[in-house]
Structure 1
Amino acid sequence: MVAFKKIDPASLAETANLVHVTNISPSTTEKKVVDFFQYCGDIIEYEIVEVENGFEALLLFDKSSSVDTAVLLNNSRIDDRNIIVKKYDESIKEAAAAPEAAAPQATAQSSTSKLANFIADKMIQAEQIGKSIDSKYGVTEKFQHIVEESKKLRDSVDAKYGITEKTAKATAAVNAKIDEIKNNEKVTAAKTAAQPRYVAAKNAAQPTIENIKHSTTVKKIQETYNQVKEKVNEVTQETLKIKKSKTLKLSPEGAATVATVQAETSAPEGAAAAAEATTTPATTPATTPATQN
């Protein structure tokens, strides 16, 4: 492991708040690294050291929970590389176990991390495409205009025919009728007579309901549901964190998608300009006949 001078782990009483970041691109700036991890928590101090293949960084957070958040960004992409993010203590153990290890490379992603990164990339791509189309055709502006016109039309119709007032009167009449039925003596008597039968049926069905609730099949279904729910929540949370932290360029696939959409949206204008150029006759300067002496 590279030696850090500004932050000396040996002088710290506790190293649990340290994060070690490797495989940082030579083209990545110090500010980009700090900004990338800033949302994980308060960074008390940091040091970035140049190495043979780029940079390594040591970040000191205010609390260990911030470290737990930071390591979730392992294998995230900054500029042209996937960074490696580990707790400092883990890096020390690995360095001690393999002193002759080669230059660090990106570690394999977990299935959750891969899925979260994939979803985050697609969300970023979709947002970029949406902004491009909206900017080109003014979708948001037109939609807002339609909404405003619809409100004006609604208010105009309501004022002309008194729909709101009539609706309020009809609702009041229906509620009055419902109250009348509720307070009807015959209805009350029938409800009172049926109550014992309802209670008896409920009590008779209760043992069967309890047996079903505690059956092996239902327990397995519940366990499966809880596992799926937990996995979905895990992927969702990691996706949101990755998306929030990605202040970098789109992946090559995302950039290609955005470029394709932008080319398609600008094609009509290009075609119109070309058509106009071909139909406009070329103008040539008038020639003055030579004067004969």
Structure 2
Amino acid sequence: MNGAWWMVLAAACFGLMGVFVKLAAATLGTVELVFWRTAFAVLLLGGNALLRRQSFATPLLVRHLQRGVLGYISLLCYFYGISHLPLSTAVTLNYTSPLFLALLSMILLRERLSATALLAIALGFAGVALLLKPTLHGLGMLPVLVGLGSGFLAGWSYLHVRELGQAGEAEWRTVFYFALISTLGGLLLMLGQEWHPLTAANLPWVLGLGVTAMIAQLAMTRAYKLGRKLLVANLSYLTVVFSALFGVLLWQHVMTAGELAAMGLIILSGILAGRR
């Protein structure tokens, strides 16, 4: 299997992860869902590192903390969006992260953006406005802003991921510390609050969430390792397509022409932003 097909698998699994989040949200809160999602990764990556006798020590703890906090809040916003918005809408809002990454690179890092990147940002936010016009009318402001916030914070966290990579940090440690910080953050947020029990009704959804997220991460990593980076990055937007299909099949969310056009604009803008 070449890199392109690994990314198709990753996109399908990320779409399925959203399905499991939406199903589990009927009985579990957003903080709990993120906790189980990241605790699964901590156990998997930490156990694998112990078996391989890999070192957890790193001189980049501050950068890991910055990335971890931003990534954790982004994940909270994303899961909240999935719980309260149509699946395809929540996923599309999260996939505005390349636009925010380009914008933040210009603001925070003083990078000069090409005309293509500026066009991408304009197209992307036009797509967001088109997508959210009917959504705001039907569901209110808060879920929409939180969903869009997931894309903004994800883009910001990717700045720190890039810095960690440029500093020579191992990829598994970057993912592990993000999962660890998120899991500890979940425990802190849940102090004094009621935990909802895992039951026969919601346990399959929690396990499905953990398994699909793990497969998606592994498949995505393999895709970037084996495939052409630009092609693989573009194929990642298939997650939006899979999410739309799952929304139609499971929740009968029939998409309008305007929603389809908006998603197309956001996908196109993300592809252009990735080429900056």
Pairwise TM-score range, normalised by the shorter structure: under 0.3
Choose 1 or 2 for highest CA Rg. 1
Larger relative contact order (CA 8 Å, sep ≥ 6): 2
Higher helix content, 1 or 2: 2
